[in-house]
A and B are shown apart, each in its own frame.
Chain A
């Protein structure tokens, strides 16, 4: 007959119960991903920042899950701005143990939409996706270089920078990238509503960068360009002289 003998049945039932209990322990304890344990990669837990490998894995999961783009926006200009450990709410963290989860923030310059994707690194599942406008995270290193390039290739801005350099240094500017210290920061109209003009009022909805330029000897070049990364153009050559 196909029916198991009582002894066999007992053993099977006990095995099933043990398996169930162990599975429950696994879920509750939320231990680390197997790949970390097997490979001996630095073990990250709790509030530890993400490792470089975790960041790479989070990006791969978000890309595989097609969570960073909408169906029709694959042609759009999208950039990952930030991958960071998800800060668990206290209701979770006070329980003492929680899975490694990552926030991935990407920006679509065509729709001016910041997308936040939450991935679970333990399970590999994309758990949450949301998008919003008017949220501007700090500039990535790549965006900084783009903003600088846009400013230096804009003829009017380039001319203003060269004139400013000449005034300070009493010599012509030959090679901006080696002769200037360049800093870029996010600019939002909301931070200075009394000073913005028509050109910069859109900053905040658009992703805008302000550039601070000085000589290697730290003399300020009195030109403060505003670059609209959404429109890929300089919108104000010198914010200092805008009124």
Chain B
């Protein structure tokens, strides 16, 4: 063999190997299943009753937590996609005296810095899921009572619950998803925290007296929760919404069902007198009885809110639109490229017959304050359920032998919840690094790491925990500080913390998010606003 042939052979071999590794690495980043996400953002839970849920999650500034590619597998299968995407799409809070009308999802945003960092105590028997070191989503499996009972035959059902908490003014909103083993999906909102707005006795017709000061009345208000449910029953295509209602005979003794297909984009109000509900069905796929598979939405119409003319989207509870990637939020949607500003503008006569469709559903809770709402409000809950209808030919939970729930393993390393972690250049000669802890469990000390490239980090200091090896939850958060003088100006340094638990009999280290020390101030201030 000649030299150039040897070179070509080995060169080719190396090339193929490198490409193979790259391609393999590209794939291993993604968890298996229908979801497209890596392991920290992938949820795959088989409940003790052998029903299985899988999905991906993402933190986003407006919506808080978005769930993607939700699949349900009843015991014995099959695994099917239900929703391509599910999230809260607006949180509208008009006060009864028209002093304030909030649109929390776009006025504040439920994600980003509004998302609460949860402590292990808030997620008992569950697992805290993290984004960049921040524990923001609790995942827990719990019993839900009877799945069914007949004579001596019974089964205790289970639920996978996910929740996050968003701090919006004085309110804390708990955005929760319950995934039951029977296939029910229950989007849930809890509102707690403190009452926000008060008024005078003269304005008292709009509230309820709770104090004896100059503003004794707490204002009544409505929480309108609007959800975006992008149904993809197995595939994006072939879906259709059917409205189901019942009409009484003249003597009101007999009732008859009517099923009305919604063929074009539309908004539909609740109609409790006719038991109106809706189901999303697949036009092609059937269960083994030959019935179309579907998910059914029975509205929770505790209170029905109809607002002023300038809130036309309060005139219906359910809207069906054709999927359009720019239609993200129920109201105050970004209008780039002529995209509609609210759901009523999304409705422009497009066909939703066998189309890729999106269901928007709103429900309301009118909150009349009471003395017990102070100092902190009881969490008040609102939820609705979307349930399988003919998803399987019979109850998939009958005949299941439940497995023992798997206990959640204790954290193996130190667990620290940070409220804040910042690095700042000062005097052009040193970098001040600050961090604040809300809780520390099994943490002996902090190892502070530094990097110039963001690629490799080296330790610059160790800082002892003020609560070494304790199970510490802050009433007053602990503030730590380190001044790094071994730096060269002007350089962008990246800092990271490690929590070291080994001396506390907790194995290994866990790592925090990254704090950047930008020369000349925070990077987000491209051209800082000048306040004169």
Contact = CB atoms under 8 A, between A and B. Distances in A.
Interface string A203-219: 00000000010100011
Report whether over half of chain B's contact residues are helix, strand or loop; otherwise say mixed: loop
B490 to A, nearest CB: 15
B351 interface: no
A10 to B, nearest CB: 11
Contact of A59 (B213, B325, B523): B523
Interface string B491-532: 000000000000000000000011010000011111111111
A45 B23 contact: no
A119 interface: no
A125 interface: no
A137 B113 CA distance: 14
Interface in B404-457: 454-456
Contacts of A63: 526
Contacts of B213: 168, 219
Interface string B36-67: 11101100000000000000101111100010
B204 interface: no
B226 interface: no
Interface residues of A, number: 93
Interface string B369-382: 00000010000000
Contacts of A26: 19, 22-23
Contact of B524 (A47, A140, A149): A140
Contact of A47 (B36, B102, B103): B36
Contacts of A187: 107
B402 interface: no
Interface stretch (B138-146, B191-199, B271-279, B297-305): B191-199
A14 B461 CA distance: 55
A56 B454 contact: yes
Nearest to B169: A183
Nearest to B34: A96
A90 B19 contact: no
Contact of B35 (A19, A46, A68, A80): A46
A43 B108 contact: no
Interface in A167-208: 167-168, 181, 183, 185-188, 190-195
B375 A218 contact: yes
B492 to A, nearest CB: 9
Contacts of A68: 526
A234 to B, nearest CB: 12
Interface in A54-90: 56, 59, 63, 68, 74, 76-80, 82, 84-85, 87-90
B124 interface: no
Report whether over half of chain A's contact residues are helix, strand or loop; otherwise say mixed: mixed
A18 interface: yes
Interface stretch (B8-16, B178-186, B467-475): B8-16
Interface string B308-339: 10100000000000010100100010111100
Contacts of B169: 183, 185, 212
Given A109-B529, A168-B213, A220-B198, A46 B16 contact: no
Contacts of B523: 56, 59, 80
Given A130-B337, A191-B103, 19 more contacts: A31-B25, A32-B26, A39-B455, A43-B28, A45-B37, A45-B38, A76-B527, A84-B60, A85-B58, A89-B325, A90-B325, A135-B335, A138-B62, A138-B108, A138-B109, A150-B531, A219-B213, A220-B198, A239-B99
28 contacts: A15-B12, A18-B16, A31-B23, A31-B27, A39-B455, A43-B28, A44-B29, A46-B35, A48-B58, A49-B131, A52-B132, A53-B454, A59-B524, A79-B524, A80-B524, A90-B84, A90-B325, A90-B356, A132-B335, A137-B61, A138-B61, A142-B522, A146-B529, A168-B214, A188-B332, A218-B194, A222-B198, A224-B99
